[in-house]
């Protein structure tokens, strides 16, 4: 369970990205966060694994206040949280399997990780993760040989190889075409359903968010302006979230 | 021995759902031993001697140290050979660049359809292109005697060949539409080339000529060593006499020259592209 | 002719300025540089030399070319040249690493990088031959000096190319490792090194290609390899031997260029 209690994030320049967020997300939920760029979506997601340090309030993940964590304790905490990025963030010039195995590095003794010696169980875990996202046969191919959608699946497999409780996805499909986006989103849904992993995703496109996520959080200028089931999200809400009428750019074009 | 066998043929991995994956052998299994053998073998061939290095290696820094400060009073005597070096590079590059256009025309596979002729041209170009400029100069010195002519010709020859290769690679990527249009209007292939392809490659042509000029100034600095003119003669002489302060000045003058030429050349090249 | 056409004709681009300008610049450059080229005609035996050398390249002396037992024959000389280039390149590419990192603007403060870049530029300005002239006075004649020369003279260009790769680093991968709980050393090992490795390898192979050519001329100062036998053959008027040695050198360089091109393409695309 993730609990935001009046969470505030002020950047060094004085910009307030989060203005007292209160939010509870149960284990196994699928949550999409929507809003304009610069509204604080990315800050919200990145505060959960403390990629962005919060400056006020409490953020409790599975009973511990994460804002108090640092050093080794913070790294140990982060191992339970997978993260997927808009730009995939893979090492393009190495093989897929090595990219996935990188997720195991943080759990390995230092000398083993320096030499790159993975245990048999780690290798199997990585292959199983690839199998779950349906690209097992690409395991020994170089990552730059893959299409964008396949690369994002590798990134998702890398997450899974971490055996996370929570997956944070920062605009996971924003740089993919509509068809591939849907396939990748199906994978997220599958992972969420089969493994009971909490998925929290920032979404640029409203239609993708409402199609795949049961719960929508709308955020505007660092404050939550909508939080509810996607079925209850009306056009009025959207106008409020976006501060304007929706435009074509806000949709990806899926039915 | 089990680990060795595992390196060469890793054991298959069985996934939880029963699928079997055969991992590939790491390329490092082959590369690492080859590298170690190659290093040891080379060290043996070149008579690698760590003790000489430890005992004498610091001497290099002593020499460099003695170049500072350079002997500024020597500067007037450097100007002449330095200008000579630059002029050799200018004329050599111009000549080479000028000659490279027709030869590149005769070596482009989208212009010349006769395969035998094409590959003969290319082979001659790459055969001689591989030779270092200093060896050209050394041979030409015997043919034309000591002096700047041999050096200039060496630069021209080298530039000619290397620019021919760079140019035909460019020509082979141009848009052939205009060429075909003009050829179909009854013009000869040469005329069609001049009218339709030369304008397309002109910018790149000047750019690579300038790039070669930069390279040539650097190499021209050493041609004097084999008696082919320029500042290289002085450099060798002063090193022989251990006048390191004067060597320092020569190197400094060269550094400034190369820097200025590169800056100008780079300015023109960025404006061209 | 209608008025409109005349009007357009008057508006035609004034590219004659550029044309005549370029023509003038080139004419000027020729006029200035020609007086420095002193042509004294062929030497007495010039024609004969030219003929013999070309003949020697076209028809190499096979006994010299395929004699694997003597150290004066072509195979050993080429092997020595390649070994000098190989070790020189390897050591040079390692020596270039620290210089590359202290010259990369995304790793160190800007003023440090500026100093590093200045150093690299200075080292890069002088051809390997100049370093050879200096090193021969340090470690004496022999192939070891040749390798040492290449190691030091290669720092400039290698480091410059390394810097371009380092400044291109994708920080996203480091972010991803950070999010999965890796410490600083692990981030370098898995985030930075794998990204740099293939480019660095490619740069090193390219430098090897250049160093083979460099190694072939270092013999002129006595630093081993095929250069010295080559100039002594020419100096002693043994033209066909010279031609044979040149033939060997050409073959070596072509093979290495081909192999280097293949390898670098493989590194770049993984095919």
Q: Tell me the domain boundaries of chain B.
A: 2-48, 70-272
Angstrom CA distances, C224 to A162, B264, C144, C236, stand at 55, 37, 8, 19
- Report whether A79 contacts C186 (CB < 8 A): no
Averaged pLDDT for residues C242-263: 91
d(CA C92, CA C204): 9
Helix crossing, B133-144 with C227-235: angle to 10°? 10
Instruction: Give dist(CA C226, CA C73) in Å, integer.
Output: 10
Q: Nearest residue of B to residue A132 by CA position?
A: B17
Report CB contact under 8 Å: B56, C139: yes
C-alpha closest to that of A130 among A152, A108, A107? A152
Residue of chain A whose alpha carbon sits nearest to that of C197? A93
Task: Give the residue ranges of chain A where pLDDT is below 70.
Answer: 255
Which chain B residue shows the shortest CA-CA distance from C44?
B143
Q: Which burial class, exposed, middle or buried, applies to B213 when counting CB atoms under 10 A from its CB (0-12, 13-18, 19+)?
A: buried
Residues of chain B contacting C57 with CB distance shorter than 8 Å: 127
CB within 8 Å of B242: residues ≥ 6 apart: none
Whole-number average pLDDT of chain B: 88
Q: Determine the distance in angstroms separating the CA of A128 from the nearest CA of chain B, rounded to an integer.
A: 6
C254 has a chain A CB within 8 A of its CB: no
Question: Which distant-in-sequence residues (6+ apart) come within 8 Å of A175 by Cβ?
Answer: A86, A87, A148
For CA atoms A211, A217, A218, A221, the dihedral sign is negative
Verify whether the Cβ–Cβ distance B24 to A124 is below 8 Å.
Answer: no
Sort out which chain C residues have CB atoms less than 8 A from A94's CB and list them. Answer: 194
Helix or strand run (H / E) with residue B13? strand B13-14
- Interval B123-163: pLDDT, tens: 889 888 888 899 889 888 888 888 889 899 999 999 999 99
Which of B263, B249, B194, B195 has its CA nearest to residue B69?
B249
Answer whether residue B96 shows pLDDT above 60: yes
Please give, rounded to a whole number of angstroms, the shortest distance from the CA of B140 to a CA of chain C.
Answer: 8
C-alpha dist (Å) from residue B128 to B122, C58, C173:
10, 12, 46
What confidence score (pLDDT) does residue A255 get? 65
- Region C50-62: what's the mean pLDDT? 77
Any CB–CB contact under 8 A between B38 and chain A?
A: no
Looking at the complex, report in whole angstroms how far the Cα of residue B186 sits from the nearest Cα belonging to chain A.
46
Angle at the Cα of C5 from the Cα atoms of C4 and C6, rounded to 5 degrees: 90
Give B63's contacts in chain C (Cβ within 8 Å): 134, 137-138
User: Contact C207/C158 with Cβ under 8 angstroms?
Assistant: yes
The answer to whether the Cβ–Cβ distance between A93 and C170 falls below 8 Å is: no
pLDDT confidence bin for B93, thresholds 50/70/90: very high
pLDDT for residue B1: 67
Q: Give the chain C residue nearest A170 (alpha carbons).
A: C176
Chains with ≥3 CB–CB distances under 8 Å to A = B, C
Please give, rounded to a whole number of angstroms, the shortest distance from the CA of B37 to a CA of chain A.
22
Count of pairs with CB atoms under 8 A, one residue in A, one in B: 23
pLDDT of residue A156: 93
Task: Supply angle C-alpha C144, C149, C153, rounded to 5.
Answer: 155
Which residues in chain B are closer than 8 Å to A128, comparing Cβ atoms? 15-17
Chain B residues with CB inside 8 Å of C236's CB?
Answer: none
C144 → closest Cβ in B46, B218, B226 = B46
Contacts of C248 (CB under 8 A, 6+ apart): C60, C65, C74, C75, C77, C78, C226
Written as one string, the DSSP assignment of chain A is: -EEEEEEEEE-TTS-EEEEEEEEEE-TT-EEEEE--TTSSHHHHHHHHTTSS---EEEEEETTEEGGG--HHHHHHHHTTEEEEETT----TTSBHHHHHHGGGGGGS-HHHHHHT---HHHHHHHHHHHHHTT-GGGTTSBGGGS-HHHHHHHHHHHHHHT--SEEEEESTTTTS-HHHHHHHHHHHHHHHHHH--EEEEEES-HHHHHHH-SEEEEEETTEEEEEEEGGG--HHHHHHHHTS---GGG-----
Say yes or no: A106 contacts chain C, CB-CB below 8 A: yes
Q: Check residue A175 and give its pLDDT.
A: 86
What does the alpha-carbon distance between residue B170 and residue B273 come to, in Å, rounded to a whole number? 14
Using the predicted structure, report yes or no on whether residue C271 has a pLDDT greater than 60: no
Quick one: pLDDT at residue B229? 79
C168 touches chain A (CB under 8 A): no
Alpha-carbon radius of gyration of chain A: 18
**Chains in touch with C (≥3 Cβ pairs < 8 A):** A, B
pLDDT given for residue A114 in this prediction: 85
CB contacts, 8 Å: C213 with chain B: 130, 132
Among chain A residues, the shortest Cα distance to C174 is held by A89
Check CB contact under 8 Å for C195 and A91.
yes
Q: Which stretches of chain A sit within 8 Å of chain B by CB?
A: 97, 120, 123-124, 127-128, 131, 136, 139-140
Q: What is the pLDDT of residues A132-174, one digit of tens each?
A: 888 999 999 999 899 999 999 999 999 999 999 999 999 999 8
In this complex, do A131 and B23 lie within 8 Å of one another by their Cβ atoms?
Answer: no
Class of domain C56-269: mainly alpha
CB nearest to C43's CB, from B52, B91, B142: B142
Indicate yes or no: CB of A140 within 8 angstroms of CB of B13: no
* Cβ-based contacts of C182 with chain A (< 8 Å): 75, 105-106
Q: Which CATH number describes the domain made up of B70-272?
A: 1.10.3720.10
* Partner-chain contact C172 A49, CB within 8 Å: no
Q: Cβ contact (<8 Å) for A105 and C179?
A: no
Residue C1 pLDDT > 70? no
Specify the pLDDT at position C30. 87
Q: Of B13, B19, B28, which to mutate for an interface test with A (greatest number of A Cβ within 10 Å)?
A: B13
If you classify domain A30-38+75-247 with CATH, what class do you get?
Answer: alpha beta
Q: Is the pTM of this model over 0.80?
A: yes
B201 upstream amide cis, omega within 30 of 0: no
Q: Pick from C180, C183, C185: which is nearest to A162 by CB?
A: C180
Q: How far apart are CA A83 and CA A103, in angstroms?
A: 10
Strand A16-25 relative to strand A30-34, pairing: unpaired
pLDDT at A227: 92
Half-sphere exposure of B191 (CA within 13 A, CB side): 8
Residue A229 has a pLDDT of 92
ipTM greater than 0.90: no
CA angle C75, C80, C85 (to 5 degrees): 125
Q: Where are the domains of chain C?
A: 56-269
Q: Does C201 reach chain A within 8 Å, measured CB to CB? A: no
Question: Would you place residue C88 in the very low, low, confident or very high pLDDT band (cuts 50, 70, 90)?
Answer: very high
């Amino acid at each position: 369970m993730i609990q935001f209690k009046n969470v505030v994030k002020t950047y060094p320049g004085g910009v307030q990205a989060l203005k007292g967020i209160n939010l509870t997300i149960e284990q196994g939920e699928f949550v999409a966060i929507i809003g304009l760029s610069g509204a604080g979506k990315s800050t919200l997601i990145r505060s959960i694994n403390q990629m962005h340090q919060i400056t006020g309030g409490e953020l409790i993940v599975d009973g511990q206040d994460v804002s108090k964590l640092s050093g080794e304790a913070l790294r140990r905490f982060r191992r339970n949280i997978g993260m997927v990025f808009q730009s995939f963030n893979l090492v393009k010039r190495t093989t897929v399997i090595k990219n996935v195995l990188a997720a195991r590095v943080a759990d390995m003794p230092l000398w083993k990780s320096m030499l790159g010696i993975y245990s048999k169980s780690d290798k199997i875990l990585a292959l199983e993760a690839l199998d779950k996202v349906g690209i097992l046969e690409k395991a020994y191919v170089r990552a730059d040989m893959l299409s964008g959608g396949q690369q994002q699946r590798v990134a998702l497999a890398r997450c899974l190889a971490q055996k996370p409780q929570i997956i944070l996805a920062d605009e996971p499909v924003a740089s993919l075409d509509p068809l591939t986006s849907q396939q990748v989103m199906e994978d997220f849904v599958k992972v969420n359903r089969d493994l009971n992993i909490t998925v929290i995703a920032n979404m640029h496109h409203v239609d993708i968010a409402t199609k795949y996520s049961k719960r929508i959080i709308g955020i505007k200028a660092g404050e939550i302006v909508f939080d509810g089931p996607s079925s209850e999200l009306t056009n009025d809400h959207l106008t409020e979230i976006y501060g304007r009428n929706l435009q074509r750019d806000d949709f990806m074009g899926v039915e | 021995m089990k680990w060795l066998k595992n390196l060469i043929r890793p054991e298959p991995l069985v996934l939880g759902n029963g699928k079997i994956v055969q991992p590939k052998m790491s390329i490092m299994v082959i590369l690492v031993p080859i590298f170690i053998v190659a290093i040891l073998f080379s060290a043996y061939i070149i008579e690698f001697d760590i003790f000489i290095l430890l005992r004498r290696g610091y001497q290099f820094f002593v020499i460099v140290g003695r170049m500072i400060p350079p002997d500024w009073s020597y500067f007037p005597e450097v100007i002449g050979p330095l200008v000579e070096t630059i002029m050799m590079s200018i004329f050599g590059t111009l000549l080479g660049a000028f000659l490279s256009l027709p030869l590149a025309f005769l070596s482009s596979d989208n212009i010349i359809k006769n395969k035998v002729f094409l590959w003969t041209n290319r082979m001659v170009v790459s055969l001689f292109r591989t030779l270092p400029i200093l060896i050209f100069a050394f041979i030409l010195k015997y043919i034309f005697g000591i002096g700047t002519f041999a050096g200039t010709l060496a630069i021209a020859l080298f530039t000619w060949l290397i620019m021919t290769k760079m140019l035909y690679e460019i020509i082979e990527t141009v848009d052939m539409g205009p060429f075909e249009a003009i050829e179909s209007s009854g013009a000869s292939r040469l005329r069609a080339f001049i009218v339709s392809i030369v304008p397309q490659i002109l910018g790149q042509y000047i750019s690579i000529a300038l790039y070669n000029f930069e390279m040539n100034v650097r190499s021209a600095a050493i041609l004097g060593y084999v008696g082919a003119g320029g500042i290289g003669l002085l450099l060798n002489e002063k090193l022989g006499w251990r006048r390191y302060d004067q060597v320092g000045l020569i190197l400094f003058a060269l550094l400034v020259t190369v820097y200025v030429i590169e800056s100008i050349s780079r300015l023109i090249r960025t404006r061209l592209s | 002719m209608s008025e409109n056409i005349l009007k357009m004709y008057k508006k035609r681009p004034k590219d004659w300025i550029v044309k005549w300008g370029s023509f003038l610049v080139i004419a000027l450059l020729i006029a200035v540089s020609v007086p420095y080229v002193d042509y004294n005609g062929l030497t007495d035996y010039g024609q004969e030399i030219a003929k013999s050398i070309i003949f020697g390249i076209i028809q190499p002396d096979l006994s010299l070319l395929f004699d694997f037992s003597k150290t004066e024959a072509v195979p050993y000389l080429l092997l020595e040249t390649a070994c000098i280039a190989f070790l020189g390149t390897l050591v040079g590419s390692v020596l270039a690493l620290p210089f590359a990192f202290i010259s990369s603007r995304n790793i160190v403060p800007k003023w440090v990088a500026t100093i590093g870049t200045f150093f690299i530029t200075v080292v890069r300005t002088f051809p390997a031959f100049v370093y050879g002239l200096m090193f021969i006075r340090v470690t004496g004649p022999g192939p070891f000096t040749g390798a040492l020369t290449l190691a030091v003279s290669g720092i400039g260009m290698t480091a410059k190319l390394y810097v371009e790769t380092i400044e291109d680093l994708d920080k996203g991968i480091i972010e991803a490792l950070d999010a999965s709980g890796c410490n600083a050393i692990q981030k370098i090992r898995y985030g930075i090194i794998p990204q740099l490795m293939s480019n660095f390898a490619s740069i090193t192979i390219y430098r090897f290609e250049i160093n083979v050519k460099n190694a072939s001329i270092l013999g002129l100062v006595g630093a081993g390899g095929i250069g010295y036998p080559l100039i002594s053959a020419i100096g002693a008027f043994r033209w066909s031997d010279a031609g044979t040695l040149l033939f060997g050198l050409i073959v070596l360089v072509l093979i290495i260029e081909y192999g280097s091109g293949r390898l670098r393409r493989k590194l770049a695309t993984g095919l």
